[in-house]
Amino acid sequence: MEYATIIIAVITFIWTVVSFFLLNQANQKLQAQQSVLEKSVFAFGRQFETEIEILKDLSLKLLRLYFAVYKLYPSGLYYEPFDHDEKIEYRKNVLKDCNDEFNKYIDSLYSNAAFIDNDLYVAFDEIRKKIRLQMEFYPDFMIKQNEEMIRASDGLYQKSWKVTEEINQDREQIISKIRSYLKSK
C-alpha cells in the first residue's frame, strides 16, 4: 500500500511538472502570436490614418482646383471687367491661379499615388485629365480669342462650358467613392 501511495504521488508530481511545462510553452506561443497581432493592428491603424490624411488633402486640393476651373468657364452670373485689356489681364490671372492649384493637386496626387487605393487614384487621375484639357484650350479660346481655333475645335469651345459641370459631378462621385471605400475598411 505504501508503494501505491508513493507511485501515485510520483505520477501526480510528474503530471504537475509536465502540465506546468506544457502550459508555459503554450502561454509563450500565445504571447508571441498576440505580439504579432498587436503589431499588425497598429500597422493597419497607422496605414488607415495615413490614407485618410492623404484623401483629405487630395479632396481639399481637388475642391480648390474645381473652384479655379469654374472661374475659367463659369456658369450663371459671374464677374469680368468690361474693358477689353482689363478683361484679358483678368483672364490671364484666372488661368495663372488655376495653373497654381493644378500643380498643387498633381504634386499631391503623384507623390501619394502608392499610398491610396488604385480605383481612387484612377478616379483622381481621370478628373485631372479633364481639367488639364480645360486649361489647355483656355488661352486660345478666352485670352487670344482665336476665332480660327474656335471654329476648328469642332464644338469644343461650346462644350468647355459644360465640362465644368461634368468636373463637379466627377468630383462628387470621387467623394462618394471615398466614403464607400472608408466604410469598407
pLDDT digits (tens, 9 = 90+) for 70-127: 999 887 777 888 998 998 999 999 999 999 999 999 999 999 999 899 999 999 999 9
Q: What's the pLDDT score for residue 112?
A: 94
Residues 6+ apart with CB under 8 A from 115: 50, 51, 54
- pLDDT digits over 134-151, tens only? 998 888 778 887 777 777
At 40 the pLDDT is 66
94, part of any domain: yes
**pLDDT at residue 63 greater than cutoff 90:** yes
Would you say the C-alpha torsion 12, 18, 22, 23 has a positive or negative sign? Answer: positive
Task: Flag whether 12 is in a domain.
Answer: no
pLDDT reported for residue 42: 64
Q: What is the pLDDT of residues 153-167, one digit of tens each?
A: 777 777 888 888 999
To the nearest whole number, what is the mean pLDDT of the chain?
A: 86
Count of domains forming the chain: 1
Give the pLDDT band (50/70/90) at residue 1: low
Flag whether 13 is in a domain.
no
55 lies in some domain: yes
Which residue range(s) make up the domain with 103? Answer: 51-184
Segment 11-21, tens digit of pLDDT: 787 888 778 88
Is residue 101 situated within a structural domain? Answer: yes
Report yes or no on 56 lying in a domain.
yes
d(CA 2, CA 10): 12
- For residue 140 the three cell numbers come to 486660345
Q: What is the pLDDT of residues 23-37, one digit of tens each?
A: 788 788 878 787 777
152 or 94, higher pLDDT: 94
What does the alpha-carbon distance between residue 169 and residue 89 come to, in Å, rounded to a whole number? 30
- DSSP count for the chain of H helices, then E strands: 5, 0
Within a domain: residue 35? no
Domain-embedded: residue 111: yes
Q: Where are the beta strands (DSSP E) in 110-154?
A: none
Cell of 33: 502570436
pTM: 0.74
